[in-house]
Each structure stands twice: as C-alpha cells, then as structure tokens.
Structure 1
Amino acid sequence: MLLSSFDTSRLSDEVPPQVRACGERLQHLDSWLATVTLIGKVTSPTGAVSLYDSVNTTRERFRALREKLVSALVEAHAGELEMKLGSLAQVAVDILIRNLFERTADVGFLATDPMLRAFLADGESAPSEANLAERLEEYVAKYSVYDNVLLLSSQGEVRWALQACPEAQRDAALMADLARSRADYLEVCRPSPLLPALPEAHLFLAPVLADDQPGSRCFGLLCLSFNLQDEMARLFDQLCDAQQHLVLLTPDGHVVASSLAALPAGMSLGDPGRGRVEAITLQGRRYLCRAVEGHPYQGYAGLGWRCMALLEQRDAFARGDAGVTTLMATGGEATADHRQGALAEICDEAADVAQRLSLTVLNGRITSAQCRLTELTPVLQQVREIGYQTRQVFDESIASLQNAMTQVTLADAAMRSFSMIDIMDRNLYERANDVRWWALDNRIRHWMQVGGAEAGRHMTRVLEYINRLYTVYTNLLVFDTEGVIRAVSSPESSALVGTRLPEALSLQACLALGSSQAYAVSAFAPTPLYDGQATYLYMARVTSAEDGRVLGGMATVFDAAPELSKIVTDNLPSPASAGAAAFGLLVQPDTTILATSEACWPVGERLDAYLPVSLVGMAPGQRRTQWLEHGGRSYLMGLTASAGYREYKVTDGYCNDVIALACLPLA
C-alpha cells in the first residue's frame, strides 16, 4: 500500500510572501522613478538634464541596494528557519541520547544481579519464577522506561520473560551481532523474533556471568526492552505544537517514530533536510524540514539516529510573534551577528542614498527658482515622494526583520531554559531510581541482617563496585536503624563507618518510608558528606527479604557541582568571539542558586542580589521570557519551571521546585 509520496527541493527556491512583497514594492518604486525621470528629461530644458542624470545615478544605487536587501531578507528568513527546525531536532535527539546512555549502565549492572545469575545457572539455589518475577517487577516499577525483561540462554533461547511472549523465538541475527561485538553490551532497534508482537524492538543486552571477573563463565543473557515509542511520544508531546513536528530516523532514512501521521514508522524517507533546510511534500502538503545527528554524550552516540523537524510551509511563511514555542539554536551565533551587521550596513547605505536624492531635489529646486523653470516643480515633488517611500520600505523591512530576529532569540532563550530543566529532571529521576533499587540488593540485605565487621567489609565491596559503575555519586552509604553508618563506597570516607548520620539525612524520614517504591531526598544544602558543598542526598530503606522487617537504610551522595554545572553549560551557545557571553542558572523559587555558569555567583547565594529577577508564581512546566538589563548590556531571558519526568515529581509525592534561566545577549 502506498503510504505517502514526497518530493524535495532546495529552500532557496522558496521566497516568503513578505520578502516577495518587499521586492515587488521596491521594483514598483524603481519603475515609477524611472518613468518620472524620463518625463522630466523630455519636458525640461537642456539645463536641467544634469539633475535627472544625478537622479538616475542615485536610482542605480537604490537598485543595487534593493537587491542586497532582498538577499539579506531571504538569508535571514532561512537562518530563522534553520534556528527553529535545526535546533528543535537537535534538542530532541540529544535528550534521547542522554536517556539511552543511562540504559547502557542499567543493563550492565542488572546483569550482575545474584538472583539472575542463580536462575540462569539453574542450580539448587535457583529462585522460583515467582520470586524472579517479583524482583524484576520491582525493577521495572522503578526504571519505568522498560516494557519487558527477558532472560536468554547463552545460545539465545528465551528462558524467561517478565511479560509473556508465547511466540518468541531465537533471534539468530542478534546472536551473530553479539558474537561480533567487543562491547560490554549490545543495543539494537529492529524487528526481533524475541518480541514478535512489536514492529520494532529496542533492546539492550548484556551477558550474565558467573562472577564479576573478566572471562568468567557465561550463564546466559539479560535483555531489557526499552519502550521507545512511549518515550518518543512523551518527548514529542513536550516539544511539538500544532505546527511543528518531529521524526526520529535511522541512519538510512527509515522512520523510527514520528509525531506526524503522514510519516508512519518503517516508512523510507531518504535524506532530506540534511545539511540545510529543504522543502518536502507529504500527502499534498508542503513542509520545510531539517535533519540533524545527535551529539555524543560521554562517548555514547547511540545507534546513529538523526532527528528531523518539520514545519508546514504556510506556517513558516506566516508573519507573527515567534513566541516561546520556537526552539533552541545549536550554533549560528556568528551567522546571526553577520546578519545584524549586514542589515546595519544596508540601513546606513539606504540613508546615504536617500540623502543624496534629497540633495538632488534641493539642487533642482534651486535651479528651478533661479531659472524660473516651474515645470520642474511637480517632477521634483514626485522624485522626493518616491525617495521618501523607498527609504520607508527599507526602514520597515529592516525593523520588521530585526523584530523577528529578536523574537527568535527570545524563543531560543526559552527553549534553552526548557532543555536545562528537562535534563535536570531526567537526571534526578535516575537518581531516585538508583537508591531504591540498590536498597533491594540481596547482598546488602543479607549482610545487614548478619551484622558485624565482616558484614561491613562485604557491603563495602558491593558499594565500591556500584560506585565504579555509577560515577555521578561521590559516596554511597548503608546505615542501621540507629543511624550508625555500617559501610561506605568511598575509601576516603572510611572514617564515617561507626559514626552517626549527619543531620542533613533524616533517619526517621527514611525509616518511615511506606514501601520499596518510596524514597526521601534532602534539601539542596551544604553537607559534610559532600565536603561542605550543597547537594541532594537520596535515601531508601533497607528491609529483610524474608519478613520485610526494616533493617536500616541506604543513602547516595549526588555529585551535584559538576553534574548540574554541566547541564547548564551544555545548554548555552558557544562563547562569542567578542562581547558579552550568554549565561545560565538553575535556581529555587526564592532565587537560591543551585548551579550557574557565572563563577562570580556562588552556589547557595541568592540570585536576586545580582539580578532584578522575580520568580514568584511560576507554576510547574510554565515558560516565560523577559528583557533583562545587566552589566550595561541587554539580554533576552528564558525561564522554565520544573515539571518532573514520568512519575518523578509528578505522582510520587516529591516536590522540588527548580527554575532554569537562560540569558542570551542581544547583538
């Protein structure tokens, strides 16, 4: 069945109506000036011919300037589309890559779980399928991005699945890929007989080894099924509006997921929009599109996917306020500065040419008065009026374009702030998941029941292993019901063992948590557990696997300083070669700074001591833009309030209002 037909063309073939109207208006004025000049030459005495020669010379300069203006308008319009479409696509694919990077750690760590090892080893200590299901249901309840978990034999046959798939079969291509792979895990996204009900399965696989030593016996494979369609639908809902659409594409141009019905999954789209904005026709509708590749995150680049943003041409060519729904530029600051400089040059030239035309008219009036050439008067009046209208067209066009560029910068700032806060929410979602899952580690639960110095050493080894894999923490702690620390992951913090929890960690709040899904988080405040710096401390209770008795708790120390700072700086444009640089912050509603790109504004201090910023009344997810004067420069500022991610800060009862600010200087 024919799903859709499409064709592409270069954007340079498309001239926006407002640009075409400007060119036509200037063409009309130029033609009328030529006609008036010709009439003047025919009807005026020979002595006045030099005046009309001067008008013709000025007209030639206006004509050249007209071409320059129209060219600048087309270039600026293309740059505006590049900013809207290219940056929208870039934000989407980069957020996805960060999400999938977390999954690579998940599969590697879960593959070391003792219960999974025991089940696949099929020995006397193998857990029942009911116990295995209970444990992995706990996992999926916390890491809610997965829709299934499978355990495979070392030959690839399905041994067990969390969600039954009765027609599942061995995936020979997958096993061949595993045999060729040298990585610790394998990631694929394609149809798989392991999950035949899915058009495409996004799978992360890792070997389940007998122990943590390299080269140890392989008992089988862990396979995590990432719910890509659900994740992309959530991302599209956040980023798209009624006009803008997003499509995730494979390297060879097949649709993986789309917010546009005309582009269903599996459709071959080819390579439009790569390297430039292009036009594309889908089911009779014409769209402008731009496709970009994702930026690698900590060396992880995913499966080479790219993301395409589309905007229907009629919406792209409509005038109006760009608003806060247009999206973040991923570069091009030098291009924007170039456009501003070109417009200023055109404006200066237009003023100079108009002044020369006024001088010509003035000289004509003097000549007319001296020689009593009354027939020159109406012609000179027409020349003067045409010159005035021409200059008015230039001024209006340049002012309109400058306003549009300001609106795009506002939208740029708004979306940069959105990207900051969204990435922060997604990052901390993972942190809440980690502590709850690790608190269910059967090794920790066992040794907490045993107690004593030997138990502490065993737990220390477990914590050290976890911390080596998850480097966003500076320390992991296990403590008993009295608040006495029994083990830590950081050798530098070994002196904490045997001491009580600091006040920043509420023992009672942790022990009172009602279930394994519950967690507690400290306020963002300085703590001795983080060298006196401010951070978040996450806690979950540790219970007995046999009877559910509370044994104590686990705490993680988030490495907030570099992690939050990187979220801010990664979402700012590259520093300008000259002039003021953009800056960004994460702050609480009372303007207490959590992270900043400005070294002179310390974390923990109030931003309102430095900037006239009010954050009162911002609701979760709200976006705002405003003008800012700071340090003798003008900035456009985007603000976005945290809205949470999935269940995190949405339905889990945790409240943590944070606002991201992105401030971009006006050129």
Structure 2
Amino acid sequence: MRDVAKCEQSLQELNLMWRVIEASAKMNCPTEAKTILPTMAATRSGFSRLERELVSSLVEEKVRNVLAEIGTKAQYVIDIVVRNLFERTADVGFLATDRELCNFVAGITDSAEAARYRLREYRNKYTVYDEIILTDTDGNVLVQIDPATPLEHTADPLIQQTLESETYVETFRTTDLRPSKDRALIYSRRMHHPQTGAVIGVLCLCFHFEEEMAGIFYAHRDPEARANMLLLDGDNRVISSADALWIPPGTEVPVNATGQARLMMFCGREYLVRTFASEGYQGYPGPVGWQGQVMIPVEVAFSGIVSDVLSRLSPELAEGLLSHAHSFCPPLYDIMTAAKTIQRIVWNGQVMTAGQRGEMLKLKTILDQISETGNRSNELFAQSIHDLYQTVLSSSMRDAEFTTSLLVDLLDRNLYERSDDCRWWALTPELRAALAQPAIDEATTARLAEILAYINGLYTVYTRLFIYDRNGRIIASTGDDLDSVVGSSIDEATLAQVASLRNQQHYHVSAFGPSALYGGQDTYIYHAAVRALDNDDEVVGGIGIVFDSAPEFHNMLLAGLAGKEKMSAFYVNRSGRILSSTDGSRPVGSTLDIDLAMLQLANGECSSGVTSHDGQYAIVACSASNGYREFKVSDGYKEDVISVVFQCFGATNQGSQQSASSEFLLESGATSSEDLEYATFFSDNSLFAISAANVMEAVPFSSVLPTSMGNRTEQVGVLGLNHDDQHKEFVWVFDLGHLIRGTRSAVTSSSQVMIVRHGAHTIGLLVDELHAVPQFSPAQITHTPLAMQGDSMLVSQVIKANGGKLLIQAIEVERLFAYVIDGTIPLPPPAQEPDASTQAMPGERQLMAA
C-alpha cells in the first residue's frame, strides 16, 4: 500500500516537526509563546493519535475495498451456477414424461434409432448437456447419444435411488455412466409407463459441468488474473478452479464465510479470501454445501491497473464528490480534516502574532516554520488524498462495471433457456399431429390445453403458453382471460416470420413491447414453428411462450445488486428505453437519461464514469449483452440489451461553495513596517479580508452549538470561548454569506468560524474556508467605487494583490459590528444577476451585493 505508506511517512514527519517547533518555542520565547503552546501541545498529541488511527483506517479501507470486490465475484460464481442448475431440475422433470421416450422405454415402440434421434434433437436445443442416457429398471442402458463412451450397463446406485424417488435426483461424483470423467453432474428421474403408470426406467441428463465452469471463469475473472475463482464443496475442497495449475481441484482451502478482514495462509502464501454459499433460487437450494470463493494473494491485492479517473473529471465534479468523502470514504475524509487542521493551526498562529514587534518576532519566526512545514505536509496530504480518492473511485467503478456484466450475463443465460424451450416444445408429437389435421375437435383441443398446462406448471417463468394453427388462430392456451385469447389470432407479421423459419433450430422473438397476451405489459414472446410429423418442411402452426418479464427481470436486477446500498439498476435497449428498473420513478417503457456513447458500446464491452443523477453525484456503469453459448451469437437472433447501474454518493452542488486555495496564491514581495496585516478567507467562492488585529482565532464549525434563542436569520448558533481564568464566554455566530447576499451559506467540511473582536464586543463569523494572513502596503488598498454611498456597505475597500490581478474584498470591522450588534446597517437585498457587460473582475457580484 504505497499511498498509505506515503501518508504514514508524512504524518510522522509532521509529528516530529511539531515536537521540534514546540521545543524551540519553549526555549527561545517561552513568555511570548505561552498562548500558543497549549494549542501546539494539543495539536502534537492529536496528530500522534491521528497517525495511528488514520493509518489503521486507511489500511482497513483498502482491505475492505478488496474484500468487497472479490466478495461480489465469489457470490456471483455460486449464484450463476445455482440459477443454471435450477433449469436442469425442470428439464429432467419434463423430458422424463416425454411420450415418445416413455413408449420406447416401456417397449411399446422398439426403434432405438428413433429414440436416439429424439434425444439428439433435445441436445441440439439444450446444448448444456454432453450426454443423455435411458436405462431400464435393472441399469441396462437402452440408448445414449455420446458415441465416445459406449455403455451397456451401469451399477451406479443412483439408478435405484432414482427409481425410489418421486422427484429428481442430483448426483455429483465419479460414476460408471461417465467413465471418461473424474466426476459427473447428473440429473436423473424415473420414467413411467404411458398407459399403466408403472415405473419402467430412468432418464439421466449429464450436465457439461467443465465447459460451463470454464465459461463462468472466463467471463468474470479479473483480467489481470491476480485472483483465483473457485467452486467449493461442503468440505471446503475445490470442485472447479479458474487456474487449476495454481489451485487444483480436490485441494482443501481456507474459507472466509463471515467476511472478516484477516489474512489466511495457504501453501506458504497469505491471502485475502471471500466465501459465499447459495441462498437458493426459486426454492432450489443448489447442490448441498457448494460455495463460491475468490482468493487473492496479499502481495498483489492492492496493486492493479492504474486508473486516471480523476483526470477525466471536471474540477467541479471532483470537488463535489470530495464534499461527500465522509459518507463514501471515511478515511479520505479523515485525511482532508487533518489537512484543514494544519492550515487552521498555522492561520491562528499568524493571526496571534499579527502586528507584534520585538520578542514576538521570535514567535513569528517559529510560526513561519510551522507554516513552511504545514505547506510541505499539505502537498503530501494532497497527494495522499488524490491517491486514496483514485483508489476508492476506481474500486467503486470496477465493482459497478462487474455488476452490470453479471446483470447482462444473467439475462442472456435466462433467455437462452426460453429459446430452447419453445423449439423443443414445438417438437411435441401430439401438437404436431393435432395441428396437421384439417379440423380440430373439442377433445383434441382439451388435450392440447392439458399438455400446455402441464408444461407451464413445470416452467413457472411463463405467464402463458399458446398454440396456433397455420392461419394464426390460437386454439389452446394457458393463463387468464382464455375466452378472449382462444379463438383470437396472432398478428400477420409474426405469423409470416414463424412460417418462414427454415428448420427446427430456428425461432422467432417478438420485439420487447406491450402485448395483450401479457395484460398489456411489455415482454418478449418466443415463437417456434410446429411442423407436420411426416414432413419437416411443412409448417402447420406454431407455439408461443409469453415470458413473465416484469418479475423475472426485476429479480435479476435485485440479484445482481446483491443488497448494495444507494445503487439502482436498469435493463435498457439501444435507444435507452427501459425494459426493467429498480427505480420506481423510472418505469418500464420510459427512456433512461444516459450518455449516448454508453448506449453504443460493442457487445461484451463495459464502461463506467462519474455523473450527476437525480441531483446526486453518482458512478454510472453499463455493459452490453454478448449472448450465451450460441444464443445471440450464432443462432441468427439479434436483440441487444444494456444493463446500467447508478451508485449515488450525495447531493450535487455541495462542493460549489468550496474554493481551492491554490487558485488564489498570493505573490510575496518586499515588506515594510508600514504594511498592514489582514486575515484572508473565502466566502461564496470569493476571497475576503478583515484586519488581522481584530481577529482572535478560527475554530471548526463543528464547535458551534445550535440554538433557537436568536431571532435573526443570519444567526447560526453560539460558540463557547475558554479564557485563561477558566471563564467561558459565549458569543453569537453570524453567517457572513447571509449578511452579504441575504441567503444561508451551505456548511461543508471546510467551513470555519472566525472569532472577531471590536472594542468590548466579540462575535463569530461563519466563512467557507481559511486562506492566509498576508501583509499589504497602503498603496495596494483602495476604496470601492460605491464606497461613497454611505454606511450601507460592509465592504468599503478592495486590496489589489498580485499586481492587481487578484482583488480581495476588505470588510470594514466598524460597519460589520454596527450591523450585527445594533442593526443600524440595513440588510442588503439579494444580488441581481449582472449582465454580460459588467462581468469584469473576480468577486464583483459579491462586491455589488455587499
């Protein structure tokens, strides 16, 4: 953690310098320094504590970022696997009741080639399987589709276990059903006689597990391969590894299911580890004990791609994000606060010695050393802030990009199954025979409706399944409003598309939009041609399946977000039209306001940036879909979907009141005894000055106590001041911005309260930020053009700094106190927008308002 080490070094140097300066003050000017020594001691003590706490919190933040990033990926590994296997449980239940296969196993038909052809047609649709086997009740293999491993008999106990089970059986281990593999993942279900209902055999669907895991790892592992993605069993042994040479299958590894920030030893190396078990999907828990895990060696965990995200942000956007550092990165906020503390201590010391002569000059020399050391340390702090800021933003943007990548992956994987379903169900012999008839009687219609209802009961992601004849008339359907659906017709364009499908591998999907078959809501409807039993070239009708897009897409978005706070997610098309949303204010069908370049991403690409979203500073990320297996890749179907997430950090414009001191650097020149010292500070993005002789010190705004006693809107609270005699004095705090323009100032982390004294009266002034305590010659000070208007101005003079290139508005103390104490100066009206011809010099608007 090089940036943390640099920050630690700067803190140590600052701490040491404080000790040296404090010792010098005690030795060289103990009397003059007595008022500042307690502050110096408190500051030194505070920095000693800050050095320990800040470095610790920085390390914790770094570790937290890494654990969050690898944790997201670990959770997605197991979630993707479980969602995929859930589909397999439905497949085996449906295929085990296939009438043609049941007839063959029961001996009603005897063509093994016909059964093998049907199984291969199924495999052609559902390419996630590498073997399908039918056995009788004794384990004799009746037919299989993989010619590389011919089988005659199996002694695997899963056959008997399946025969005794009323549901599917999930098996993952070594088996003689797949002799070429160390382990196989098999879903089996018993088959029944189509006439008597007797148990007659077993169907085994063999999932292509290795290919599937390789695809997951390829799509979601970090591109630099610094971490390893793993799938573990219940004994914490590796089932599958993204890098088998690094961590091979069968290896037992340490796990971190609780997410604790601790190092874990494995094979002589220390790792950061995150482990997640599945929470299940639609009632399916997944294989017992399976877990997703990501492990990253600690020596590379905090290095990676160097991001230049900050250089791509506008200064206003960067400053605005920094104003919310306390919420999105507490350690960053601590560093910023520490830098402000240094500036305030130096500023206070310079104010204390303003106008002093003789021995007090020794103290002034010491304060100059403090100032020089503070400036040098501030540069180191600024770099530390920049580095950590970069790290936090880059980490958040990578996490958002990965989330969008997962979201489109979930969508494509799910819709892949829908394309498989419609094509396979179109091969149902009873549908093909019925639609080929010249006329369909009521008994046949009832039987078709019964078949559809059975399928729909197994596949709950559909709200409706329907079949239609060659003229497009719907003759059977599931779902609601059957009276209005059955007998109606599909549109001519869809019918023409279905009729033109070349073979059983092709399908048609309606464009995402409202449909009467889905209650007028937006969805996809998948169609496949139903062909005559004796002639594959003759289309006799079609089948349509209505995807339940509203809950299914919404659940995908929620699963992808995985409970991330302040993050919203969307599916949109290339035009930005919303297909699904977790933001209730942006419903389906509306258009998402997003950078057009993000809508033009190439397939499989992702992008992220920082933007303003709903009045909030936010990270925006998106990914363009890239298909899954052959779906949207080589099957002729093209329908790009883009996933978008926004992660908000806080309200915009909060940083607009903060002015960077570096933009108002004062050029130093020769000084004389006649020079006047001023305390300078920022208010409303302009530089102001007040006589240093009237300023006691500055304190953070957090020290102000709110009160309801004041009856003036410019009063923001009271402040307690401690005196040497332990007496505590309470003074009113006034909002200088309100006094100048008539509206309240926004309080930020940089806000300070200046203690100003005039005669017997003392007040506090809320300002945006401290600047410096410079000296100016009388020649640099001039009256404002409007000063002759009398006592209606708080600013009566302007200081021409940097050769006249920088104007500093000088507040007249007498007039300030006349107003806040006696109310004799009327409050000026809010400033009016100047026209273009009057916008000449910095701060003129504030000057005119004053």
How far apart are residue 137 of structure 1 and its match?
A: 0.5
Is the counterpart of residue 115 in structure 1 residue 100 in structure 2? yes
Which residue does the alignment assign to 1:486? 475
C-alpha contact (below 8 Å) 2:125/2:420 kept by paired residues: yes
Residue-by-residue CA offset, 1:225-272 (whole Å, 9 max, x unaligned)? 111110011111111122333111111111111112211222222435
Number of corresponding residues = 628
Deviations 1:103-122 (A, max 9, x none): 1100111110112212221x
Contact 1:591/1:615 (8 A) holds in 2: no
**How far off its partner does 1:546 sit?**
2.7
Q: Identity of counterpart residues, as a percentage?
A: 32
- Written as runs of structure 1 = structure 2, the 5 A alignment for 1:35-46 is 35-44=20-29
Q: Does 1:652 find its partner at 2:639?
A: no
Q: Following TM superposition, by how much is the alpha carbon of 1:39 offset from its aligned partner in structure 2, in angstroms? A: 4.5
RMSD (Å), alpha carbons: 3.0
The SS at the match of 1:370 is: coil
AA of the residue aligned to 2:644: L
Q: Secondary structure at the match of 2:455?
A: helix
Change (3 A) 1:323 1:115: farther
Match of 1:546 among 531, 534, 546: 534
- Note the 1:552-571 alignment, pairs <5 A: 552-571=541-560
What residue number does 2:55 align with?
70
Cα contact 2:508–2:526 (8 A) shared by 1: yes
Q: 1:244 to 1:141 in 2, by over 3 A?
A: same
Query: Distance in 1 between the 2:308 and 2:71 partners?
Result: 17
Amino acid at match of 1:603: V
Instruction: Report whether the alignment pairs 1:446 with 2:440.
Output: no
Cα distance between partner residues in 1 of 2:308 and 2:627: 23
Supply the distance in 2 between the matched residues of 1:341 and 1:212 (Cα, whole angstroms).
70
Unaligned segments of structure 1, at least 5 residues: 1-15, 325-335
1:172 CA drift (Å) = 4.4
Q: Give the whole-Å Cα distance in 1 for the aligned partners of 2:328 and 2:649.
A: 13
* Structure-2 residue corresponding to 1:525: 513
- Residues 1:509 and 2:497 aligned together: yes
Aligned-partner Cα distance in 1 for 2:327–2:613: 24
CA distance in 2, matches of 1:615, 1:534: 23
What secondary structure, in the 3-state scheme, does the structure 2 residue paired with 1:406 have?
A: helix
Task: Say whether residues 1:136 and 2:123 are aligned partners.
Answer: no
Q: How does 1:168-317 map to 2 (within 5 A)?
A: 170-175=154-159, 178=162, 184-211=167-194, 216-240=197-221, 241-242=223-224, 243-260=226-243, 261-271=245-255, 275-280=259-264, 287-303=271-287, 304-317=289-302
Q: Name 2:602's counterpart in structure 1.
A: 619
* Counterpart Cα distance in 2 of 1:594 and 1:198: 42
Task: Give the drift of 1:94.
Answer: 1.1
Q: Which has the higher contact order (CA 8 A, sep 6+)?
A: 1
Paired residue secondary structure (2:555): helix
- One-letter amino acid matched to 2:481: E
Aligned to 2:647: 664
| Alpha-carbon distance in 2 for matches of 1:212, 1:476 | 26
- Tell me, what secondary structure is at the counterpart of 2:358? helix
Distance 1:278 1:305, change over 3 A: farther
Equivalent-residue separation in structure 2 for 1:51 and 1:575 (angstroms): 48
Q: Separation in 2 of the partners of 1:180 and 1:73?
A: 58
Residue identity matched to 2:435: M
> Structure 1 residue 518: deviation in Å?
0.8
Q: Name the stretch that deviates more: 259-268 or 233-242.
A: 259-268
Q: Which amino acid aligns with 2:615?
A: G
* Contact 1:623-1:638 within 8 A present in 2 as well: yes
Cα deviation code 1:458-483 (max 9, x no counterpart)? 11111111111112112212222222
Give unmatched runs, 5+ long, in structure 2.
310-324, 651-850
Which amino acid in the other structure matches residue 138 of structure 1? E
Question: What residue is the counterpart of 2:7 in the other structure?
Answer: 22
1:329-340 matched pairs, under 5 angstroms: 340=329
Q: Where is the strand percentage greater, Structure 1 or Structure 2?
A: 2
Q: Residue 396 of structure 1: CA displacement?
A: 3.6
Measure how far apart 1:347 and its partner are.
Answer: 3.3
Distance change in 2, residues 1:45/1:432 (3 Å):
closer
Q: State the SS of the aligned residue for 2:16.
A: helix
Quick one: distance in 2 between partners of 1:212 and 1:185?
Answer: 22
Distance 1:477 1:154 in 2: 36
The code of the aligned residue for 2:209 comes to L
- 1:364-375 matches, within 5 Å, as 369-371=357-359, 374=362
How far off its partner does 1:212 sit? 10
Partner of 2:85: 100
**Residues 571-622 of structure 1 deviation map (CA, whole Å, 9 limit, x = unaligned):** 235475xxxx4322211111222122233333233334xx565545321111
Q: Which residue of 2 aligns with 1:467?
A: 456
C-alpha displacement of 1:541: 1.2
Amino acid aligned to 1:432: S
Deviations 1:157-207, CA, capped at 9 Å, x for gaps: 4333221434676354435754786x6111122112221211110111111
Residues 1:413 and 2:394 are matched in the alignment: no
SS at match of 2:529: strand
Q: Distance in 2 between matches of 1:440 and 1:52?
A: 90
**How far apart are 1:132 and its partner, in Å?**
0.9
Q: Give the 3 Å change call, closer, same or farther, for CA 179–364 of structure 1 in structure 2.
A: farther
CA distance in 2, matches of 1:46, 1:593: 72
Question: Amino acid of the residue matched to residue 437 of structure 1?
Answer: W
1:77–1:171 CA distance, 2 compared to 1 (3 A): farther
Report if the CA contact (8 A) 1:252-1:270 is conserved. Answer: no
CA separation in 1, counterparts of 2:361 and 2:585?
72
Q: Deviations over 1:357-388 (max 9, x none)?
A: 54346546777x332664x5654433333333
Secondary structure of 1:170's counterpart equals coil
- Greater per-residue helix proportion: 1
Distance 1:538 1:343, change over 3 A: same
1:402 corresponds, among 375, 382, 389, to 389
Amino acid at match of 1:92: V
C-alpha distance in structure 2 between counterparts of 1:323 and 1:100, whole Å: 41
Taking structure 1 as reference, are residues 463 and 343 closer, same or farther at Cα in structure 2, changes over 3 Å only? same
- For 2:308 and 2:141, the matched residues in 1 are separated by 51
When residues 28 and 605 of structure 1 are mapped into structure 2, their CA distance, relative to the original with a 3 A threshold, is closer
C-alpha separation between the residues in 2 aligned to 1:625 and 1:373? 55
2:572 maps to 1:584: no
**TM-score, reference length from structure 2:** 0.69
Structure 2 distance, partners of 1:372, 1:455, is 108
Sort the Cα spacing of 1:557 and 1:127 in 2 relative to 1 into closer, same or farther, 3 A: farther
**Deviation at 1:23?**
1.5
Judging changes above 3 Å, is the alpha-carbon distance between structure 1 residues 379 and 461 closer, same or farther for their aligned structure 2 residues? same
**TM-score, with structure 1 as normaliser:** 0.86
Work out the CA distance in 2 between the residues paired with 1:179 and 1:221. 7
